[in-house]
Structure 1
Amino acid sequence: MDAELFPRARTEIAPGAVHVPDWLDAGRQRQLLDACRAWARPPAGLRTVRTPGGGTMTARQVCLGRHWYPYGYADTVVDGDGAPVKPFPAWLDELGRQAVADALGTPPPVARDVPPTGAGAGAPTRVPYDIALINFYDGDARMGMHRDSDEESDAPVVSLSLGDSCVFRFGNTETRTKPCTEVELRSGDLFVFGGPSRLAYHGVPRVHAGTAPPELGLTGRLNITLRVSGL
Structure 2
Amino acid sequence: MSNTDSFIDEVTEEVQRDKLYAVLRKYGWIGIVAVVGIVGGAAYNEWSKSKAEAAAQANGDAITAALTSADDDAAARAEALGAAGITGAARIVSDMVRAGELHAAGDTTGAIAALAPYTVDATLDAIYRDLAVLKTTMIGADEIAPEDRIAQLAGIASPGAPYRLLAEEQIATAQVELGDVEAAVSGFRAISQDVEATEALRRRSLQMIVALGADPTAE
Fold equivalence (TM over 0.5): no
State the structure with bigger RCO (CA 8 A, min sep 6), 1 or 2.
1
Specify the TM-score bucket, using the shorter chain as the normaliser.
Answer: under 0.3
More helix by share: 2
More strand by share: 1
Considering only CA atoms, is the larger Rg found in Structure 1 or Structure 2?
2
Q: Give the alignment's TM-score, normalised by structure 1.
A: 0.22
Q: Give the alignment's TM-score, normalised by structure 2.
A: 0.23
